[in-house]
Amino acid sequence: MNRRPLAWLQTLRLDPPSPSDKTADRDRLRRALLQAGYPRVSFPLSVMRRLPDEMRRRDFELTAVLGQAEDEVRVIDIGREKVHGIALDIGSTNIEASLFDLSTGDRLDQGGRENPQLPFGADVLTRVQRSMMGGTEELVRVLRTGVNGLIDTLCSRNHFAADDIVAVAVAGNTIMSHFFLGLSVDNIPVAPYVPAVNGPVFTTGREAGLSVNEGALVYVFPNAGSYVGGDIISGILHAGVHREEEPVLFIDVGTNVEITLGCRDWIMTGAGAAGPALEGGVAGIGKKAEPGTISGVRIGRSNRGIDLDVMDNREPTGICGSGLIDLVSEMFSAGLIDQSGKFTGIGEGFRERDGERLYAIYGNGNDGLSISEAEIRNFLFSKAAMFSFLYVFVKSVGLTFRDIKKVYVAGALGCGIDPESAVNIGMLPDIPRDRFIPIGNSSLSGAEMLLLDRGLLDEAARVAALITYREMNEDAELMSVLQGALFIPHTQPELLKGA
C-alpha cells in the first residue's frame, strides 16, 4: 500500500559546499527538496538553527521530517529516525486518542479520559457562558492539561518521548475546537452565530501548547458552522457519506445527537439535545464503556431473571448506552414497565429507597445497581427526541425511512448497540436490521484516516463545503411526533416504518 501520512521521513543526499557552490545551508536543503518533488517548502527557525551542524555531522546525508500543510510542505524536524502521530477526538464529555507509527501505519495504542472541562458544565453552552464571564483562560488551560496528560500516558506506555510525536490530527465540535486552539467562543451563541474560524487550521505543537515535538504539524478539522463541527466532518469522512450515490443516514450520538443525511451531491446536518442518556447523563449508574460496564442485558420472559453482559467479565460497576437501551427494551418486553415507562410491579427486583421506586439490575436495591422510574422516563424523553429529529429530518427532504438503504450509527449509540432493542423501544426506525451499520467513534476514526493519508485534506474541505445546517427545532411537526414518541414504541407505530 502506498503510504501518505500527514508527516513523513524524507532522506536527502545534499551536494556539499565548494568554492564553486557557496549556497547557504537552508537554501541547499530547499534545492534538494525541490529536486525530490517539493516545490513549496517552509522552514521553522528552530530547524534553521540546527541545520548547519546537523548537515556536517551527517556528511550532508540528511533525514528530514516533512509535513503537509495546506499547499506547502513544512520541514518539521531533522535528524530523526522514527515518526509517530496522534489522532485526537475532543468530545464534550470524553477525550480519546490513538497513537500511530507513521512509517508503518500501525496503531500502537489507544486511550481516553473524561474531558476536564466537565466541572464547568456538562454541556458546551454552559462552558461558553463561563468563558464569556472571564473564564476562557481557565477552560483552555484545563483542556490543554487533559489532552497533554493523555498524550503523555500513551507515550510513556510505549516507551518513547513525546518529542517523537510529529503530527496531530484533531477533531471536535466547533466550540471544543475553539477551546483547544485558544480562540474566542463569545460570538458562537449570539446572533448571527459567527465562529472565529470555520476552515481547517494548521498550526504547530508549540503554538497549540501540546506536549509533542515543538514543530509538530497540528491539523484541526474544519467546521461547517457554529453547530456543525469538525467531529461531524471527520465522521462523515470515515463513513463515506460524501461518496454515496443515493442518500444515507449518519447518526452520531454523544452529548447531543447529530443527524446527517446526504450523498455525494448534497449533505444536510442537524443537531439536538438527545444524547446524554447514552453517556451517563440520565441514569445514576450510567457510565462510559470500559471494563466493568454492563453493555448488554437480557431478561427472561417467564422467570424474569436477568442476564448481563459485562465488559472484561468484571464485577458490574455501571451501565453504558447499549446496555441501557437493552435494559429498557427488555423490561418492556418482559412486562416490567408499561408503554409510558412506569413500573408494573410484576415479578421480583422492585425495591423502594427513600420513597423512590427502584428496579434492581445487579445486587440488591441498596448496595447494587438499580434504575428508578424517573430515570427510565428521562431516558424515554431522550429516545423520543432522537426519533423525532430523525423522522422530521428525513421527511423534510421528501424521503421516508423506507428510502434509506444505509444508516451509519456512531458515537455512544454505535458502540455495540443491538438494533433490535433500539427498534423495539422506538429509538430507531423499523427498517431491515442489516441497514444499520455501527461504526463506533467515527470522529476519532476519521482523524486516524487523515493522519495516515494526507490526500484526505482536500476531501475534508470538500465535505465541509457540501454541508447545509438545518434547524430542526423550528419544524412545527417536531412536537407532535415527540409527544407520541414518549411512549414505547410510539403511539403511532406506523411512523417507525416511515409511513
Residue 228 lies in a domain: no
Residue 122 has pLDDT above 90, yes or no: no
Residue 456 lies in a domain: yes
Contacts of 285 (CB under 8 A, 6+ apart): 318, 319, 361, 369, 370, 371
Same domain, 175 and 311: no
| CA 319/CA 171 separation, integer angstroms | 26
Residue 413 has pLDDT above 70, yes or no: no
- Report the DSSP pairing between strands 41-42 and 306-310: unpaired
Is 273 or 103 the better-scoring residue by pLDDT? 103
Same domain, 249 and 387: yes
State the CATH number of the domain containing residue 14.
3.10.20.880
Entry pTM: 0.90
Domain boundary among 78, 109, 133: 78
Question: Which of 75, 169, 110, 186 lies closest to 457, judged by CA?
Answer: 169
Please tell me whether the peptide bond between 489 and the residue prior to it is cis, using omega within 30 degrees of 0. yes
Q: Which domain holds residue 49?
A: 7-78
Query: From the centroid of its chain, how far is CA 341?
Result: 31
Residue range 112-138: mean pLDDT, rounded: 92
| CA 343/CA 180 separation, integer angstroms | 45
- pLDDT for 124 equals 87
pLDDT above 70 coverage of the chain, percent:
94
| CA 460/CA 200 separation, integer angstroms | 9
Residue 235 lies in a domain: no
| CA 289/CA 251 separation, integer angstroms | 19
Q: Residues 61, 13: contact at Cβ < 8 Å? A: yes
308-329 per-position pLDDT tens digit:
999 888 888 888 888 899 999 9
Same domain, 357 and 490: yes
Residue range 406-416: mean pLDDT, rounded: 78
Query: How many structural domains does the chain have?
Result: 3
Same domain, 74 and 97: no
Same domain, 73 and 147: no
Same domain, 65 and 148: no
Same domain, 430 and 368: yes
Residue 1 has pLDDT above 50, yes or no: no
Residue 1 lies in a domain: no
Is 272 or 263 the better-scoring residue by pLDDT? 263
Same domain, 356 and 255: yes
Beta-bridge partner residues of 232? none
- pLDDT for 273 equals 62
Same domain, 433 and 292: yes
Query: Would you tell me how many other CB atoms lie within 10 Å of the CB of residue 445?
Result: 20
Residue 225 lies in a domain: no
Same domain, 389 and 465: yes
Same domain, 416 and 453: yes
Residue 2 lies in a domain: no
Same domain, 397 and 364: yes
Domain boundary among 192, 220, 248: 220
Burial class from Cβ neighbours inside 10 Å (0-12, 13-18, 19+) for residue 189 reads middle
Averaged confidence pLDDT in the chain: 90
- pLDDT for 249 equals 96
Q: Answer left, alpha or beta for residue 135, where phi above 0 means left and psi between -120 and 50 means alpha.
A: alpha
Residue 107 lies in a domain: yes
82-94 per-position pLDDT tens digit:
999 999 999 988 8
Domain boundary among 154, 187, 220: 220
| CA 211/CA 218 separation, integer angstroms | 12
